[in-house]
Amino acid sequence: MTGTALLFLVLGLGLIGWIAGRARAAVFVRSAKGGPRGTVNSLPFYHGWFVAICAIVPALVFMFIWQSISPALVTNMVLSAPAAADLPQDGFARAAILSEARAIAQGFQTAAFQDASEKLVPLYKNALSYYKWIGVAATLLLLFAGGAFAFTRIKPDFRARSKVERVVMFGLLVASLIAILTTLGIFASLIFESWRFFSMVSPFEFLFGTEWNPKSTVTPGADNGYGAIPLFWGTIFIGAIIAMIVAIPLGLMSAIFLTQYASATVRKWMKPILEILAGVPTVVYGYFAALTVAPAVRDFAVMLGVSNAASDNALAAGIVMGVMIIPLVSSMSDDSIAAVPNAMRDGSLAMGATKSETIKQVLLPAALPGVVGGVLLAVSRAIGETMIVVMAAGYTANLTANPFATITTVTVQIVALLTGDQDFGSPHTLAAFALGLALFVTTFFLNYVALRVVKKYREAYE
């Protein structure tokens, strides 16, 4: 029996419990004296839920726990068998044989590459089915015990509704806690893997080194080519400089035009079009940048007399990324301009200032904090953007301010380091996590500051 089948069985039995509980409570309601419901505390439907919850929840929790501990139990059982005694003592080779034998036993793989694992397959099959049936039996036992317990509790004066509602409230709380759990998971995995990385490569080299040419085997103390300065520079150059040179003027002016000048009809049509720009997947932008924009930029550079222009130049990636960011800048500016009190605008217009003078000298200065917050969010979005730079910018680290040269970024290198078959503990993989940590901390900081600025500014006018 597979996990899915067991899951459906559990849910099906829960449904039967629900029907049984409801039917039993309905009998009370019908036989009760005095009034339509008599002295019955809760509707039959809540009794049904009570039975179903008591039956399903413990069984599901057990299934989940069993899923995570049974592999270890299976491995123990296989290792304690006499046939496993002649396995190599070396941890890595041993783990490879075990995992191969397991994959064959589970049917994921058909043939063994190592003879040693072939021998272990029947052992694994035995152990797997042994523990699987224990798990199935225990799950069903829990389910029936829970259901029976709940069923005997059903009495006319049993407060089924408040019990069910308590479970519902608990479920709501658990759902909200998943957000915290995810944040902690990100923090923990990034910090743990980065710590492993920094035990091999010194943090000093990583943060201040200017040569990025990561070696797959590292020697402590020596220069291993893990200097991330060129990556940080590339990320800032493409995401925070080129992209912003495109996005800030276009986004801000679009917002001004749409809110202050355009007629209602134009606004109605143009705003969704700008939103489409934000909805185009980044892989499409990346393909467009690599296929169309980058060759055009290179031709332009050659026309200017820049002979060493690369086809995967930083400018193309930056321009396309800037276009992607336009809607974000535009909608943030839109919001903050709209939040400026009308009295300020009307006052300026009444004094005889033209519209553009009012915008430049009254609205924009008043809306500036909101616009700055929007730009910070846009920068955070741009430096975390992956697909455009992976497809259009290059893989060679280059510490240069020449927009026609190949420049690589943090996200490109994360993708590059995790490409190809490498085992999880290699310095390449771990370096990706260290870069991820740097990216996470930077974007977290930018988002935090941006949200604070925007919030504070909104409060000033409300």
Partner 1 sequence: MSNAIMDPTPTDWNGQIMQKRIARRYAAERRFKAMGFVAVALSTLFLAFLLFTMLGQGLRGFQRTEIAVDFDFPALTSGATAASISGPNADAALNSMDVPGIVELAVSQQYGDLSEGLLTAGAAGNVRQMLMDNPSLVTAKQQLWLPVDSRLDVAFKRSGEPEAEKTVAVLAQKDALRTGFNWTFLTGADATDPSAVGIWAAFKGSLMTMAITLMLAFPIGVLAALYLEEYAAKNRLTDMIEVSINNLAAVPSIIFGLLGLAVFLTLFGMPRSSALVGGLTLALMTMPVIVIAGRNAVKSVPPSIREAALGIGASPVQVVFHHVLPLALPGILTGTIIGMARALGETAPLLMIGMRAFIPSAPQGFTDATTALPVQIYLWSDEVNQGFVEKTSAAIIVLLIFLLGMNALAIYLRNRFETRW
**Between residue 147 and residue 166, which ones bind partner 1 under the rule CB under 8 A?**
161-162, 165
User: What backbone phi and psi angles, to 5 degrees, belong to 217?
Assistant: -120, 135
The Cα 436–Cα 227 span in angstroms is 15
The Cα 22–Cα 432 span in angstroms is 55
Within 3-62, which residues bind partner 1 (CB under 8 A)? Answer: none
Kindly state the number of chain residues that form the binding site for partner 1, as judged by CB under 8 A.
Answer: 91
Asked if 88 touches partner 1 (CB under 8 A), the answer is no
Residue 57 neighbours by CB under 8 Å, 6+ apart: 146, 167
Which of these, 247, 240, 308, lies nearest to 277 by C-alpha position?
Answer: 247
Per-residue contact flags (x/-) with partner 1 for residues 108 to 127, judged by CB under 8 A: x-------------------
**439 token code pair:** 């990216």
**182 token code pair:** 């995810």
Cβ 226 vs Cβ 205: under 8 Å: yes
Residue 25 CA to chain centroid, in angstroms?
45
- Select 200 or 418, whichever has its Cβ closest to partner 1: 418
Give the three-class secondary structure for 254: helix
The Cα 153–Cα 159 span in angstroms is 10
Q: Look at phi and psi of residue 34 and say left if phi exceeds 0, alpha if psi is from -120 to 50, else beta.
A: left
Asked if 444 touches partner 1 (CB under 8 A), the answer is yes
The Cα 116–Cα 223 span in angstroms is 40
Identity of the amino acid at 266: V
Asked if 250 touches partner 1 (CB under 8 A), the answer is yes
CB of 177 to partner 1, least distance (A): 7
The Cα 317–Cα 392 span in angstroms is 5
CB of 440 to partner 1, least distance (A): 5
- Select 368 or 441, whichever has its Cβ closest to partner 1: 441
Within 176-205, which residues bind partner 1 (CB under 8 A)? Answer: 176-180, 182-183, 185-186, 189-190, 192-193
What number of other Cβ atoms are within 10 A of residue 246's Cβ?
Answer: 19
- Select 133 or 192, whichever has its Cβ closest to partner 1: 192
Position among 26, 207, 229, 253 found at the interface with partner 1 (CB under 8 A): 253
Within 220-249, which residues bind partner 1 (CB under 8 A)? Answer: 249
Binding segment toward partner 1, per CB under 8 A, in 31-39, 135-143, 280-288, 397-405: 280-288
- Select 83 or 346, whichever has its Cβ closest to partner 1: 346
Per-residue contact flags (x/-) with partner 1 for residues 371 to 390, judged by CB under 8 A: ------x--xx-xxxxx--x
CB of 417 to partner 1, least distance (A): 11
Asked if 261 touches partner 1 (CB under 8 A), the answer is yes
Position among 11, 23, 141, 284 found at the interface with partner 1 (CB under 8 A): 284
